[in-house]
Amino acid sequence: MSRSRSSLLPLLALLAVPWSVQTFAGTRPPGFVFAWGLLNVDPVSVTFLWDFLFRYTMGLPDYILAWPLSVACYGAALASAFAGHLLDRDDPRVTAGLLAAAGVAQLSLARGFSFQPGRTAWPLGTLACWLVAWWVYRQRGA
């Protein structure tokens, strides 16, 4: 497997990882923030990112904007890795740096959510983005 392809697969896997898991006091089930949208399990519902941005954003706190910012950084990292794969000429520092920025933005989102009473946000996306950034950058020496 080529170096650029081996860095593309973990990047795509980030679409399956919840970037933030919201837990609540009491019996309310958790909510999940993915790169592509919000998933609630009781009742089961999905709100895609574009719906969230263009329909439901009136009056929301500023820290929520960290979510689309992190997705933009992730999208740029994906574009960087994909271009590197197509052109067989990539710079893993760019991809890793964009993933690191996406992780920081997700950490900011989780921090904002955690200030709400009875809610805790677990920034899984931060850890996942940073792990994939390390994986991509580690290959630089390979």
pLDDT of res. 5:
60
**pLDDT tens digits for 70-124?**
999 999 999 999 998 888 887 889 999 999 999 999 999 999 999 989 999 999 9
71 Cβ contact list (under 8 Å, min separation 6) = 35, 49, 102
**pLDDT tens digits for 57-80?**
777 788 888 999 999 999 999 999
Query: In whole angstroms, how far apart are CA 18 and each of 2, 33, 110, 115?
Result: 28, 6, 12, 20
pLDDT of 18 > 90? The answer is: yes
The most confident of the ranges 113-117, 130-134, 138-142 is 130-134
Task: Give the chain's mean pLDDT.
Answer: 88
